[in-house]
Amino acid sequence: MLVVAALGGNALLRRGEPLTAQAQRANVKVAAESLAGIVRAGHQLVITHGNGPQVGLLALQGAAYRPDEAYPLDVLGAETEGMIGYIIEQELENALGHDRAVATLLTQVLVDRNDPAFQNPTKFVGPVYDRKEAETRAEAAGWQIAQDGDKWRRVVPSPSPLEIPDTRVLELLLKQGVVVICAGGGGIPILRRDDGSMIGVEAVIDKDAASALLARQLGADALLLLTDVDAIYRDFGKDTAAPIHELTLDEARQLDLPAGSMGPKLAAACDFAGSGGLSGIGRLEDAEAMLDRQAGTRISIHSLNQEVADSHPC
């Protein structure tokens, strides 16, 4: 089975933790143990990850040095892909006892220059601030900001991913049995010029949307969106809250989840499930169990009961 596993931000950095290499490595080490289990179970594995806090921090560092020479977001996205990929690659190699090849691939992702996201930034990047500090920084740097929980953060454009030109390189690596880390932070956003050449653009692509596109282009069997919540909940936050374990594609599309939390994950899961694969949303430590339909929220075109009935006709 070919599995695309998308690591949520908590796999790299938990809310409130310092943005240090040590903190990120400690979290990745835990994630690597779970991911190694997927490989040991005999599955091919492609790993994606977020980069919101990291790309925002690099932007701050660049602006603090020489604001007029700060690198654009596409270049910072490439830097974070290399930085985070290195840590995941090394810890996963350690977890696997260095008996499998692991590689990080900087991944370009094509977006539309006319995407309305460029006029309506929504993607959170960088550290969190109280409102006053966020407004002061935004005024000085020309940022746009938005509320993130009880804090405030910088927001940047997040256009929809259209195509991953580097898929053919990924396929070559997978044919050689390589565990691949790619499309970090949603990949490096690029535009196609009129003459067919490519150029980077100032944006950060949603990691889950890019992961769903990647899984479709690779013909993956499963997409796992790994976070710190064990499942999607019906009536979340109420006394009647209950986890939802199985959803058909139609049932999943009818759910109305917050755009700032599970909404994008559900949209990505539906996007991939529509191609015929299994989508799972749940905790990192439950990754293997989700593949066995024993944990998380699983989304597919048909329910598990329907699949059993189809395979055992009366």
DSSP 231: S
3-state secondary structure of 190: strand
Active-site residue flag, 265: yes
8 Å CB contact between 205 and 125: no
Q: How many helices (H) and strands (E) does the chain have?
A: 10, 16
Active-site residue flag, 305: no
Instruction: Check 8, 9, 187, 277 and give the catalytic one.
Output: 9
Rounded Cα distance between 38 and 287, Å, is 8
> What region, left, alpha or beta, does residue 97 occupy, with left being phi > 0 and alpha being psi -120 to 50 degrees?
left
Q: What is the DSSP string of 64-130?
A: HH-GGGPPPHHHHHHHHHHHHHHHHHHHHHHHTTT-S-EEEE--EEE--TT-GGGGS--EEEEEEE-
Distances (CA, A) of 71 to 64, 155, 201, 249: 12, 17, 11, 41
Instruction: Check 50, 56, 207, 277 and give the catalytic one.
Output: 207
Instruction: Check 51, 85, 185, 265 and give the catalytic one.
Output: 265
Instruction: Check 52, 123, 187, 280 and give the catalytic one.
Output: 123
Active-site residue flag, 184: no
Residue positions annotated with a catalytic role: 9-10, 123, 207, 265
